A and B are shown apart, each in its own frame.
Chain A
Amino acid sequence: GAVVSQHPSWVICKSGTSVKIECRSLDFQATTMFWYRQFPKQSLMLMATSNEGSKATYEQGVEKDKFLINHASLTLSTLTVTSAHPEDSSFYICSASRGGTSIAKNIQYFGAGTRLSVL
């Protein structure tokens, strides 16, 4: 169990367009999802924490109007990169954790990541 699906795995887009990335927990309910950005050969940088049914909490320095996060259900969160520019090119990774009183509630299970290239 604890499978997280992330789509697309790779996307190339033109500068100025918007890109939506989906993150789904396939076999568990994820009350909390996280969105990360990872630069080559670097650690993960948390962008935002998303709780089902409420607004995402963004980390300092992350533009919430640029990186729109929606967590409309217990199994789906989306990240939309609006008006993408070349500097937004990166590897974006989502993770999901179980909710409630689950003993495993703070374990994050990761999607396979999305490589975004903005031309």
Chain B
Amino acid sequence: AQKVTQAQTEISVVEKEDVTLDCVYETRDTTYYLFWYKQPPSGELVFLIRRNSFDEQNEISGRYSWNFQKSTSSFNFTITASQVVDSAVYFCALNAGNNRKLIWGLGTSLAVNP
């Protein structure tokens, strides 16, 4: 079975704090893709990153960084020096198999307070 678990339902931080959003996945496929999407209060989901199962290199994009560890089936997302504009719901998702469907986590609601 394929599954994505985002154990943190809600996180609240103060601006400039670092915050890590956890994502744990399950799949029996050897080839798969992991995604992070951001859904701000406006509702539109924004694609942040895609990582395939053969690429365990961590990625950094500005204040965002992602840590992919196959050994623990995790794909965690860290925001450094958080800002109020980072307040949103963040979804982790998995694509495996021969279709393009995404298996979604339940999302983590991040509130960054001034």
Contact = CB atoms under 8 A, between A and B. Distances in A.
A93 to B, nearest CB: 7
B64 interface: no
> How many of chain B's residues touch chain A, expressed as a range?
20 to 34
Which of A2, A49, A108 is most buried by chain B, counting CB atoms within 10 A of its CB? Answer: A108
Interface residues of A, number: 24
Interface stretch (B14-22, B70-78, B79-87, B101-109): B101-109
A110 B44 contact: yes
A109 B107 CA distance: 17
B35 A107 contact: yes
A32 B95 CA distance: 14
Interface string A86-119: 0000010101010000001111111111010000
Interface of B: 33, 35, 37, 42-47, 50, 91, 95, 99-102, 104-107, 109
